[in-house]
Amino acid sequence: MFSALPDPDGPCFVHMDFRPGNILVNGNRVTGIIDFESARGGSSEIDFTKINRYIWEVNPRTKSPYFEGYQTIRNMLNLEIVLPFYNFYDAFGAVVWCKNRGVERNQSFLQESIEVLKKSVSY
Q: What is the C-alpha to C-alpha distance for residues 101 and 108, in angstroms, rounded to an integer?
A: 13
| 49 beta partners | none
CB of 50 closer than 8 Å to CB of 19: yes
Q: Model pTM greater than 0.75?
A: yes
Query: What is the dihedral sign for C-alpha 114, 116, 118, 120?
Result: negative
CB count, 10 Å around CB of 53? 18
- pLDDT tens digit sequence for 80-120: 999 999 999 999 999 999 999 999 999 999 999 999 999 98
Residue-by-residue DSSP string for 54-84: IIITT-GGGHHHHHHHHTTTSPPP-HHHHHH
CA 17 to mean position of chain CA atoms: 6
For the stretch 52-64, pLDDT in tens is: 999 999 999 999 9
Q: Which pLDDT band holds residue 42 (cuts at 50, 70, 90)?
A: confident
Query: How many residues can be counted in the chain?
Result: 123
